Amino acid sequence: MAKETDQMQKIVSLCKRRGFVFQSSEIYGGLRSAYDYGPLGVELKRNIMNAWWRDMVQSREDVVGLDASIIMHPRVWEASGHLAGFSDPLVDCRVCKERFRADHATPATEGQDLVLTFADKARAKAAQELIKTQFGVELEAHGKELKGAKAGNRGYVCPVCNSPFLSEERQFNLMFRSSIGPVDAMTEVAQAIERGELAGLQGNALRAKLDELTKDSAVYLRPETAQAMFVQFMNIQQSMSMKVPFGIAQQGKSFRNEITVEHFIFRSCEFEQMEMEFFCEPGTDDEWMDYWKDFRLNWWKKFTNHPENFRLRAHDQAELAHYAKACYDVEYLYPWGWGELEGIANRTDYDLQKHAKYSGQKLEYFDPTAQKKYTPYVIEPSAGATRGLLVMLIDAYNEETLENGETRVVLKLHPALAPIKVAVLPLVKKDGMPEKAREVVNAFLAHGINARYDEQQTIGRRYRRHDEIGTPWCLTIDGQTLQDGTITIRDRDTMEQQRISIDTAVQEIESRLRKI
């Protein structure tokens, strides 16, 4: 895995320290490819997903929701092409042993001079020896670098050490396979071995036999939420009398057996997506594509402090999936460079046509006004919710030097996304202040605003703690509160404090939240 930048290391550590994201099964040594969202992480994730649901479904008449099962009929994945094609060619570097996806390699043109780079001089020496003995190529060593190698005709070299000494590309299916029903795949295979049916079989013949034995019980964890929207197109269109153009949206878990899990939660094997299939009449698809790509870019920008770190990138012809007419990525400038946050694709009528063919059912729309039938085209904005959470954390993370020379870490999360909206702090743990503070917390909770009582440590430390988890406002109960019924409200970003009446505190926060 690539070494994380300083900023990422700080964010990963903050996530653990403050209860945003933990390594899955940490007490057993952790599972590299899976993460658990702690008390603050789950709030942040829900706030992102709820904001998406509100803006994409609840506040529109032309989009409806769906919550489909994760395990679908295996034919769905045959029809969608995932079973055959949802695989990335994998390559091993023969020198540094890195395993990587061919599309993640470092591009290199044939004959290009290469500088192979290693962690230290000793490793470079060992690599020099290995290359000489295994490939008969002599390279010059310069400290931790080896010079003299040239790129071959693969179009790429190892993304870690730049070596052109690579294995062949191998196909690898990214879908997690399981079995359904009383006899699991292992049992079927064991029984076949006992019957002697596998004796003498090797390679592809063995693989084909195993596939045949297990195909009736094989099921897959969905690698995207999208296919259910195509499969349920007719049910939804008819039950809701939807008129094209309209969209079907879904959020939920997806699973991919990713070989390269990287950059913390950026790429993991279990993640959450927020996807929408927007069905429109062929011929209107280009216009809808324009609409949705801008809508989605602006949606992300609404929550950010740095809009310049978001951009749209059009896929060129070579990069486009074979069924897509056009595709844009909403990209974010991560600490390691620009990368995908969301894809918006014009999938044409590919999916509906495929499912119609494989299921034998008609998946068409009858336009009552024009009195004609057609298969709608589809524009698909497909975003990662967990990747979005990472983007929001990176965007919000700030270190500021205060007048007294101390550094304050502050997460400048958009208040609508902040896990805790208000912290209520009694200045001291006596003189009736804790009781008053509890009353204020209860008033917020009764209005559905996530407020937390906090009396641990000095007031300064409590402010820092809430700055670090992105709480936009701290309300402090002090001696004056007990005399004149006012409290201070401190703004996370400006650190300015203002006195307001305790009776209007809930109203004040409600109106600030409404304004954003």
The residues that touch ligand ATP, with contacts defined as CB under 6 A, are 224, 256, 258, 267-268, 271, 273, 340-343, 382-384, 386-387
CA of residue 197 relative to chain centroid, distance: 44
CA angle, residues 36, 38, 43, in degrees to nearest 5: 115
- Amino acid (one-letter) located at 464: R
Closest to ligand ATP by CB, 261 vs 433, is: 261
Are the beta carbons of 492 and 469 closer than 8 angstroms? no
Q: Is 239 exposed, middle or buried (0-12, 13-18, 19+ CB in 10 A)?
A: exposed
Least CB distance to ligand ATP at residue 266 (A): 6
Placement of tokens 């993304």 in the chain: 159
Task: Return d(Cα 144, Cα 140) in angstroms, integer.
Answer: 11
Least separation in angstroms between residue 4's CB and ligand ATP is 16
215 residue type, one letter: K
Sheet with 486-491, edge to edge strand ranges: 451-453, 422-426, 473-477, 486-491, 497-501
* Rounded least distance, CB 415 to ligand ATP, Å: 24
* Shortest reach from residue 23's CB to ligand ATP, in Å: 15
Closest to 306 in 3D by CA, of 391, 401, 389: 391
CA dist 226 and 343 (Å) reads 12
User: Would you say 80 or 273 has its CB closer to ligand ATP?
Assistant: 273
Structure tokens at 80: 């969608």
CB of 127 vs ligand ATP, minimal distance in Å:
29
- Least Å distance, CB 381 to ligand ATP, is 9
Query: Least CB distance from residue 44 to ligand ATP, whole Å?
Result: 16
Residue 336: CB minimum distance to ligand ATP, A: 13
Q: Which one, of 500, 471, 453, 356, lies nearest residue 412 by Cα?
A: 471
Instruction: Return the structure tokens found at 502.
Output: 């305790």
DSSP state for residue 154 in the 8-state scheme: T
Nearest to residue 272, comparing CAs of 88, 70, 449, 111? 70
Q: Which residues is 346 bridged to in the sheet?
A: 326, 379
Nearer to ligand ATP, 149 or 231 (CB): 231
Residue 295 or 366: the one with the smaller Cβ distance to ligand ATP is 295
478: three-class secondary structure by DSSP: coil
* Among 448, 69, 18, CA closest to 227: 69
For residue 245, whether the previous peptide bond is cis, meaning omega lies within 30 degrees of 0, is yes
Comparison of 169 and 340: residue with beta carbon closer to ligand ATP: 340
Q: What is the distance between the alpha carbons of residues 344 and 226, in angstroms, rounded to a whole number?
A: 12
Shorter beta-carbon distance to ligand ATP: residue 41 or 426? 41
Which CB sits closer to ligand ATP, 156 or 271? 271
Nearest to ligand ATP by Cβ — which residue?
384
β-strand pairing of 377-384 with 372-374: unpaired
User: CB of 512: closest distance to ligand ATP in angstroms?
Assistant: 30
Nearest to 391 by CA among 421, 410, 409, 414: 414
**Residue number, 263 or 421, with CB nearest to ligand ATP:** 263
Give the residue with the Cβ less far from ligand ATP, 33 or 128.
33
If the CB atoms of residues 18 and 267 are measured against ligand ATP, the closer one turns out to be 267
Instruction: Kindly tell me which of 82 and 462 has the beta carbon lying closer to ligand ATP.
Output: 82
Give the shortest CB-16-to-ligand ATP separation in angstroms: 19
Shortest Cβ 265–ligand ATP spacing (Å): 7
Structure tokens at 204: 């592809």
Q: Between 505-515 and 433-446, two packed helices, what is the crossing angle to 10 degrees?
A: 40
Q: How far is the CB of 309 from ligand ATP (least distance, A)?
A: 15
Q: How far is the CB of 340 from ligand ATP (least distance, A)?
A: 5
CA distances, 357 to each of 23, 78, 244 (Å): 43, 11, 22
Cα–Cα distance, 325 to 348 (Å, whole number): 7
Nearer to ligand ATP, 104 or 464 (CB): 104
Nearest residue (CB) to ligand ATP, 217 versus 257: 257
Q: Which of 423, 428, 429, 459 is nearest to 444 (CA)?
A: 423
Residue of 349, 328, 351 lying closest to 340 (CA atoms): 328
